[in-house]
Every structure is written in structure tokens, then in C-alpha cells.
């Protein structure tokens, strides 16, 4: 019961912080903008992204691992390539890497009751259909290194609203 309360408190805190941001019209996935939304797949939960420069962004996800049936927390540094698929920049490709912390519970695929720390490499594509909305899909690999060596893969899709 206590872990659920912690998750609820964290989500409420994020909602309050996001509601304090300015709401004037901004373009999705542009310099200085912050996107918040949902992600489905591995993981399923909340996804956020901040664009630091035309080339660099950071993103994170907090949610549940469907395969391992436990929590998931990841953070990634991304390189964005805006004109790979189209010249208008509406389908940017991104590559990146970061860290993942995953609860690998007894009821999951590995049946290990442990929290694992791993590296994460990913590739994704984002679609920018409207000024404040983006839709994305990504695939990643996770070599876990602590407390034991193992390997994971993930696929996910999601959408973000941009502030």
C-alpha cells in the first residue's frame, strides 16, 4: 500500500509543477520546450521530454514494466535529427542512451525479486502533427549490470503535450 501512495504523491507533484508552467502557444519538440504525456508498452506510464538545443534533448519515463511486472524509471540523453525522413522536420529521428532502474519482481519474466540498474540505448521517431502535440515510438536495449548481469529489450509508443 505504501509504494502506491508514493507513486500517487509523485504523480500529483508532477501535475502541480506542470500546471505552473506558462500556457502560451508553443511548438512541439522545439528549443526550450517541455513535453509531458503517456507511454504504452515497455514501460507503461508517464513520459517527459525537454529540448535543450536543436540537437540535444533529455527524456524520462516513470511507470510499470509489463514484462517484469514492477516499476520502471529511466532517463536518457538524446540526439535529434530533424530532417532525416522529411525536410519540414515533422518526423525527427532520435538516438540516445541513459540509465534504467527496474523492479524485477517475483511475478515477472525473470522471477527475480531484485531492483536492477542498467544502461539503456534507444532509437525512436517522433511525429509532430500539431503545434502542442507529438506522438513517438521507440525501441531500446537494456544491459543490466547491478546486481547481476542480464539483458532486456523494450518497445513503446506514446504521446506528449508540449508546454
Domain boundaries, the chain: 23-162
- Measured CA angle at 57 (ends 53, 58), to 5 deg: 145
Average pLDDT over residues 70-88: 93
Range in 45-49, 83-87, 108-112, 125-129 the model is least confident about: 108-112
pLDDT attached to residue 14? 56
Query: The whole model's pTM is what?
Result: 0.79
Q: What is the mean pLDDT of the chain?
A: 86
Tens-place pLDDT, residues 18-43: 444 444 445 788 899 999 999 999 99
Tens-place pLDDT, residues 120-133: 999 999 999 988 99
pLDDT attached to residue 142? 95
Q: Domain spanning 23-162: which CATH class is it, in words?
A: mainly beta
Amino acid at each position: 500500500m505504501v509504494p502506491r501512495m508514493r507513486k500517487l504523491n509523485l504523480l500529483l507533484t508532477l501535475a502541480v509543477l506542470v500546471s505552473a508552467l506558462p500556457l502560451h502557444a508553443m511548438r512541439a519538440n522545439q528549443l526550450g520546450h517541455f513535453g509531458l504525456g503517456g507511454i504504452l508498452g515497455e514501460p507503461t506510464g508517464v513520459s517527459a521530454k525537454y529540448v535543450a538545443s536543436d540537437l540535444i534533448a533529455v527524456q524520462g519515463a516513470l511507470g510499470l514494466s509489463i514484462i517484469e511486472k514492477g516499476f520502471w524509471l529511466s532517463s536518457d540523453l538524446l540526439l535529434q535529427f530533424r530532417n532525416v525522413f522529411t525536410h519540414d522536420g515533422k518526423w525527427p529521428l532520435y538516438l540516445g542512451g541513459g540509465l534504467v532502474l527496474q523492479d524485477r519482481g517475483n511475478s515477472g519474466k525473470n522471477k527475480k525479486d531484485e531492483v536492477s540498474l542498467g544502461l539503456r540505448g534507444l532509437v525512436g521517431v517522433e511525429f509532430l502533427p500539431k503545434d502542442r502535440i507529438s506522438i513517438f515510438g521507440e525501441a531500446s536495449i537494456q544491459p543490466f549490470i547491478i546486481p547481476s548481469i542480464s539483458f532486456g529489450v523494450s518497445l513503446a509508443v506514446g504521446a506528449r503535450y508540449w508546454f
